[in-house]
Amino acid sequence: MKESLIQYTLHLADNSLILGQRNSEWCGYGPVLEQDIAITNISLDLIGQARNFYQYAATLINNQSAAKVSPPAGGGDLEGASEDSLAYLRKEREFKNCLLVEQPNGDWAQTILRQFFFSQYQYLLLEELLGSRDKQLAAIAEKSLKEVTYHLRWSSEWVIRLGDGTEESHNRMLKAIDELWRYTGELFEAASYELRASGEGFGVDVSKLKESWQKKVSDIFSEASLIPPSGGWGAFMQTGGKEGRHTEHLGFILTELQYMQRAYPGAEW
């Protein structure tokens, strides 16, 4: 139970951290000031969620070591774990985020679409997580859901605005769909710890979210005059991120994210 709870909590944390880090790359580069502020605000919310999940995971890990149980596989060097050690000192293969969140920002269309796909997924996930048997996961879900509602509304509006905008913005959205579509299937394919998590009643059965997600995405796409790429829902989907097999991008993200703690171990300011 503890082991899968730790893995599951880290997975939720990693998703939020990596997307938060990606979005923060826009800081100072947004297309207009208000949207620069919007995307970095979303970043802040995501990193805040990640902190809550990491803090909880650290508590679980430390309680487990205190009980003299060997630390979980893929947890890195977790002696005296903390939110910082979990974010800054785990290696690429130990990260359990989905592939979607680590994809490059691309242009504004690609960033918007990635946010929309993820927020729609996260919204449905957190709604279910409210009923988790684990009180802390339920509490984090309750807190985060209010923020994710904003992210979802904002990114949905932007998908419609760009898709139904000019020829240029429409074409960029089509390109973004082509780029990101293959990473959406993984969201609904449960990793081993997700299966255990939903089986034990503290996690969400992601396969059950698929239909609602597709329905919501179809609705927004049709309002945005956009269509899924050829192959549609049955297209080939790339998977592996949740089990630690990432695209080449994650290594680069971590290089930047973890630089300070790698170069100056234990640095504080």
Partner 1 sequence: MTTHQIDKQTIYSYLEEINDPEVPVLSIIDLGIVRDVKMNGEEIEIIITPTYTGCPAMDMITATIKIQLATLGFKKIKITQALSPAWTTEWMSEEGKRKLKEYGIAPPNPKQQVCDQKLFAAAEAVQCPHCNSYHTHRISEFGSTACKALFQCLDCKEPFDYFKCH
Report the interface residues with partner 1, using CB under 8 A: 34-35, 37-38, 41-42, 44-49, 51-52, 135-136, 138-140, 142-144, 146-147, 149-150, 152-154, 156-157, 160
Shortest approach of partner 1 to residue 25 CB, angstroms?
16
Q: For residues 47 and 174, which CB has a smaller minimum distance to partner 1 in the complex?
A: 47
Q: For residues 6 and 46, which CB has a smaller minimum distance to partner 1 in the complex?
A: 46
Shortest approach of partner 1 to residue 175 CB, angstroms?
23
Shortest approach of partner 1 to residue 146 CB, angstroms?
6
For the residues of the chain, what is the DSSP string, one character each? -HHHHHHHHHHHHHHHHHHHHHHHTTTTT-SSHHHHHHHHHHHHHHHHHHHHHHHHHHHHHHHHHHTTPPPPTT--S-TT--HHHHHHS--GGG----HHHHS---SHHHHHHHHHHHHHHHHHHHHHHTT-SSHHHHHHHHHHHHHHHHHHHHHHHHHHHHHTS-HHHHHHHHHHHHHHGGGSGGGGS--HHHHHHHHTTSS--GGGGHHHHHHHHHHHHHHTT--PPTTGGGS-----GGGT---THHHHHHHHHTHHHHHSTT---
Cβ(56)–Cβ(33) under 8 Å?
Answer: no
CA 120, chain centre distance (Å): 11
Q: For residues 11 and 51, which CB has a smaller minimum distance to partner 1 in the complex?
A: 51
Q: For residues 130 and 260, which CB has a smaller minimum distance to partner 1 in the complex?
A: 130
Shortest approach of partner 1 to residue 231 CB, angstroms?
28
Q: For residues 4 and 43, which CB has a smaller minimum distance to partner 1 in the complex?
A: 43
Give CA–CA dist 62/153, Å, rounded.
38
Shortest approach of partner 1 to residue 153 CB, angstroms?
6
Q: How many CB atoms lie within 10 A of CB 148?
A: 25
Q: For residues 163 and 185, which CB has a smaller minimum distance to partner 1 in the complex?
A: 163
Shortest approach of partner 1 to residue 130 CB, angstroms?
9
Q: For residues 94 and 147, which CB has a smaller minimum distance to partner 1 in the complex?
A: 147
Shortest approach of partner 1 to residue 197 CB, angstroms?
19
